[in-house]
A and B are shown apart, each in its own frame.
Chain A
Amino acid sequence: MKILAHSYVCPKGTFLNGKLVYDTAEEENPLKSAYQQLGVEYPKFYKMDVLSKMAFIGTEILLPFFPKDADLENDLQLIFANSSASLNTDNLFVESYEQLKTPSPSLFVYTLPNIVTGELCIRHKWYGENCFFVEETFNPLHFSEWSQIALNKGNNSCLCAWVEAKTNGEQECFLFLLTNSEDGGNSIERELSTLIKQYRNE
């Protein structure tokens, strides 16, 4: 197993393979700015929740690194995780019926964490397998286990993400693309934990 590419989206900027590509540190609305710098026309972006917006941007910039000869439509598995599920939108939905007195259908449809993977599948016409886990913290060992299992089942590659939007405003989306390889093997776990530390400046 090896990492083909990785990206990181957070309020201060969007990074691709460790390099800053869109600086949004000074922006009032960082995700809108990153989307505009990306230069892609996809009006549905504006309707998305924060999780989907981050994953959308982070995935668009990874596209050139997807395996060219693979049947991505069927054989790409999406494995996503975070710790707070859709908590941010959950609270907005509660606000819609408690304070604004009308439960908002367009908020309710985002009160599930796996809507993120649904949005990406719609955007890129991916019909393959999806799974969303809720975990206390980013766990590189689990991601490595899940991906290895997915690849052993016959999937060609895995798009994985730790995508988090906490109610205190902390937001991050760490995406990485994995595929089978002869070399590398057991180092994925270590690589992932180093990468996320670098992105988080820990």
Chain B
Amino acid sequence: MDKPIYIQTLSLVTPLGNSVDQHLDAFKNGVSGIKLVEKAGFQDTTIPLAIKSELTSDRYNTLLREALKKAQANLSTSGRTAVIVSSTKGNIDLLPGDTFAGTQPIIHEFFPKTEIFIISNACISGVIAINTAADYLLAGNYDQVIVIGIDAVSEFVSYGFQSLFALSNETCKPFDKSRNGTVLGEGCGIVLVSTQKPDGFAVLYKGGSSSNDANHISGPSRTGEGLVRSIEKTFKRSQVSVRDIDFISAHGTATIFNDEMESIAFGRTNLDRVPLNSMKGYFGHTLGAAGILETIMSIVSMEKSILFPNLGFKETGTSIPLNIIQRLESKELHTLLKTASGFGGGNASLILQKQP
């Protein structure tokens, strides 16, 4: 990488709290944002969700404004600035109208006149958004990019996942033997990707990539081929090797096929012994926000030298056993790998490193 790229957390708003400290407490104490919600499913069925219960309407806009307000207060640098938004559905309340139309004006309330890009690439949007931000910085177009990951819970998405039989009926248990589906969640996370070293804790972005399974539009690949190719490309671009990786923040949706696919891919890339977690047991699956929320908590892991347990995991439930983190553990973490996989056959990954 020609010049160092820094990543810093600007804000984190989820059912677990509105600050990084609140999230640190929740993660340390094994608190999940998931609970059973009556009448949230199709035909008023009860389904588990990770929702911010104080929000009764206008969920997307409220989450976005709340997170932007904090990001604006925490931003310590200036320069040529762009914003990249990662969201799968935008503000679904605007249907039948354009669901992405309202996002830019809200961002401009906080960061006037900045150029805004929106990436909507299913569940890998967040990781792609960070990769794209770094690409733009390396190309010299901007000095810093504010990357926003956001999706709100909606009946639209809940009914859709129900129609695919992809939802769990209780909680979210990534990689566990008894996992039986994912749980949907909501939240907004914001990071700063910058060529300038910001005040406060920041990590280095080393490289990233995406790939496609070229296999099926909604089912995960049986061989993990796409994820393997993205991981390998990311290692090459980052000039980091497998033995450097101290921790993996995996995707782990807790559907039977997704977690199985990831285990095969980590096995094929010799990463199956590296300590790993999925954070879906805390956040649920927040779709376009997931990559950002999970990157933020991975940065917290590096800052505090803590490995967070994979909430919901008890017993190996994948054909390739992984080194799932089961207890809170102190460990110096230098280099980590973040991965994501999603509908459309997409996979993405990136590598972060602690500053020397």
Contact = CB atoms under 8 A, between A and B. Distances in A.
Interface of A: 74, 78, 83-85, 87, 90-91, 93-94, 97, 102-105, 108-115, 117-119, 121-122, 124-135, 142, 145, 148-149, 152-154, 167
Interface stretch (B117-125, B246-254, B270-278): B117-125
B343 A109 contact: yes
A103 B163 contact: yes
B344 A129 contact: no
Nearest to B118: A134
Contact of A121 (B128, B214, B218): B214
A145 B156 CA distance: 34
A108 B214 contact: no
Contacts of A126: 212, 214
B346 A118 contact: yes
A85 B120 contact: yes
Nearest to B115: A142
Given A118-B343, A148-B139, A131 B160 contact: no
Interface stretch (B16-24, B93-101, B257-265): B93-101
Given A85-B100, A103-B160, A109-B218, A149 B119 contact: no
A149 B135 contact: yes
A131 B159 contact: no
Contacts of A148: 139
Given A112-B344, A114-B120, A128-B212, A153 B237 contact: yes
Nearest to B162: A103
Contacts of B42: 97, 103
B206 interface: no
Interface residues of B, number: 48
Contact of B121 (A83, A114, A119): A114
B213 interface: yes
B100 A134 contact: yes
A163 to B, nearest CB: 13
A97 B162 CA distance: 12
Main secondary structure of the interface of A (DSSP, over half): mixed
B201 interface: no
A104 B346 contact: no
B343 A112 contact: yes
A116 to B, nearest CB: 8
Interface in B196-213: 209-213
Contact of B117 (A97, A115, A127, A133): A133
Contacts of A109: 164, 217-218, 343
Given A103-B162, A103-B163, A117-B344, A127 B211 contact: yes
A131 B119 contact: yes
B178 interface: no
Contact of A84 (B98, B209, B214): B98
Nearest to A82: B120
B173 interface: no
A122 B211 contact: no
B111 interface: no
A129 B210 contact: yes
A148 B226 CA distance: 24
Given A103-B160, A117-B212, A132-B119, A127 B226 contact: yes
12 contacts: A74-B229, A84-B98, A90-B95, A97-B159, A108-B159, A112-B121, A115-B122, A118-B343, A122-B217, A122-B345, A134-B119, A149-B139
Which residue, of A94, A124, A128, has the highest number of chain B Cβ atoms within 10 A?
A128
A133 to B, nearest CB: 6
A165 to B, nearest CB: 13
Which among B100, B136, B162, B215 has the greatest number of chain A C-beta atoms within 10 A?
A: B100
Contacts of A132: 119-121
Given A90-B156, A126-B212, A85 B90 contact: yes
Contacts of B136: 145, 149
Contact of A127 (B95, B132, B225): B225
Contacts of A131: 119, 121, 128, 132, 210
Of A83, A129, A154, most B-chain CB atoms within 10 Å: A129
Given A90-B92, A111-B160, A121-B213, 8 more contacts: A87-B99, A91-B96, A102-B163, A109-B218, A113-B121, A122-B216, A129-B209, A129-B210
A-B complex: 8 closest residue pairs judged by Cβ atoms? A118-B344, A108-B160, A121-B212, A103-B163, A103-B159, A134-B118, A105-B163, A114-B344
A93 B214 contact: no
A143 to B, nearest CB: 12
B194 interface: no
B211 A128 contact: yes
Nearest to B128: A131
A129 B211 contact: yes
A129 B237 CA distance: 14
Contacts of A130: 121, 210-212, 344, 346
Interface in B122-178: 122, 128, 132, 135-136, 138-139, 141, 156, 159-160, 162-164
